[in-house]
Chains A and B, each alone.
Chain A
């Protein structure tokens, strides 16, 4: 394992120090591992997300004007805890309630649920939106349900814009839910990820094979197949997403995110194929985002997220945003 670290156990604490040093407009609570905006806007609904670390820029890279108010960082690939989420709510709550944005993983769901109970007990109104958009997982009452992946970024951006525009908790929750329900994702891994604390790849993937439908913690996907050209991988991902949900007849926001270990030039090469396929299938992409937005440490590969939008969601998407990882219109 070759990594830019001081000690495996110190990676998260060191990274938070770096965030604080690079972004003086953010406030970092090192004890609670919460990154929040430097100032609170009274009367605005506060958006809080969080999850295991290792998916950067998700979530701390999306704290700032027009997006999140605070992000809670858990240990690498481990959900944060309710006391962190409560501390975040106490820090950024501005009298209009808090929206928790939660990716559908059992640990995240249970901890945010406890946090919501604690915050309610403190008199803070809380609503939660769950993102469960990974089409690689069969949605069934017999499993923990679909994993929450790329659509989370779009929920944070769009609901963040609604909150910034003064929408109340009910309305922000409704927008967030609409984005969550109309977004679908699927990813592919070319290599495994290496957790600093473990020191070796968390699963074996032979040099000539890829994991189709991989989760952002390296959970197995639909199938392991031989490595094929990007156009064929794009075909498989796009077909799987379109088979799950109808994206025709509406403006679509598309995101192609790297998983952390794939260069941008490959992501753009891949997006070229994705865009051509979508056009062939009658899907109109109105906005596109290509880069590392939801990652899995050093895993090579990418994920595709599509959102069936409308005029209102597009307008909120275009609204100003100023965060470490997403910035426009300001």
Chain B
């Protein structure tokens, strides 16, 4: 039987998400850097791992009181440690989510979907990238769409997130044939095709981490 809690995210759920994000980024850092060396400047894994480790140590040092404070702390940690385009884009994602949720201590599926939509809108505005430009937006936008639809249809959050993770992975894989139009990969022109985009790959890890950590909660 499902309870109301099934469709809410607490501060602890958000912490579990970000800890798992760090775990997965650290594990896949070398692969992310390898993807980046093909079409970028070979530092995406290193930079992201530095950032998620900073998020982990911040959250370990002090447990934020509410969801907004947590997301803001995470965003600032990423902005100030990742560097490059990824730092400001991932930072913007979390800072915009924080702004949207304010001092809430729990997020229901509708609020979370809306917050994630705000975050991704912030990324799009900051990076001026659109779907199909071979960037992290290609994994994030499908996630937003799935979460919105699921929230409207009353789908339990864990199920919605599983579908969202699949959508993000599909969006990530769809970047392979694309020619990059934003970021350093765009300097390669046609030569950027036939490569997986590292930003879309780390963004898919972010969504998968939430789906996984929530699935674990249910057990």
Contacts and interface: CB of A to CB of B under 8 A. Distances in A.
A121 to B, nearest CB: 13
Interface residues of B, number: 31
Interface string B73-96: 000100111111111110110000
B80 A144 contact: no
B41 A106 contact: no
Contacts of A144: 182-184, 186-187
Contacts of A111: 83-84, 87-88
Contacts of B87: 79, 81, 107, 111
A105 B41 CA distance: 12
Contacts of A217: 41, 184
A138 B187 CA distance: 9
A113 B122 CA distance: 13
Contacts of B46: 197
A142 B42 contact: no
A82 interface: yes
B49 to A, nearest CB: 12
A6 interface: no
Interface in A194-210: 195, 197-198, 202
A106 B184 contact: yes
Nearest to A115: B88
Given A106-B182, A106-B183, A110-B126, A79 B189 contact: no
A107 B42 contact: no
Given A77-B41, A111-B88, A105 B83 contact: no
Contact of B80 (A78, A81, A143, A147): A81
Interface string B29-63: 00000000100011100110000000000000000
A106 B189 contact: no
B85 A107 contact: yes
Interface string B140-179: 0000000000000000000000000000000000000000
A137 B189 CA distance: 10
B191 interface: yes
Interface string A78-105: 1111111000000000000000000001
A83 B42 contact: no
Interface residues of A, number: 32
Contacts of B84: 74, 78-79, 106-107, 111
A38 interface: no
B64 interface: no
Contacts, number: 89
B79 A81 contact: yes
Nearest to A109: B85
A275 interface: no
A215 interface: yes
Contacts of A143: 181-182, 186-187, 189
A327 B87 CA distance: 36
A220 B188 contact: yes
Contacts of B181: 142-143
Contacts of B86: 107
Contact of B83 (A74, A142, A198, A218): A74
A219 interface: yes
Contact of A80 (B83, B92, B191): B83
A168 interface: no
Contacts of A107: 83-88
A137 B184 CA distance: 11
A75 interface: yes
Contact of B79 (A74, A114, A142, A220): A114
A232 B66 CA distance: 65
B191 A220 contact: yes
Q: Which of B76, B183, B187 has the most CB of A within 10 A?
A: B187
Contacts of B79: 81-83, 114
A202 B183 CA distance: 18
B80 A110 contact: no
Given A75-B83, A198-B42, A220-B191, A114 B88 contact: yes
Q: Which residue, of A75, A105, A143, A220, has the highest number of chain B Cβ atoms within 10 A?
A: A143
Top 7 A-B pairs, shortest CB-CB distance: A107-B84, A143-B186, A110-B88, A107-B85, A106-B85, A78-B83, A83-B80
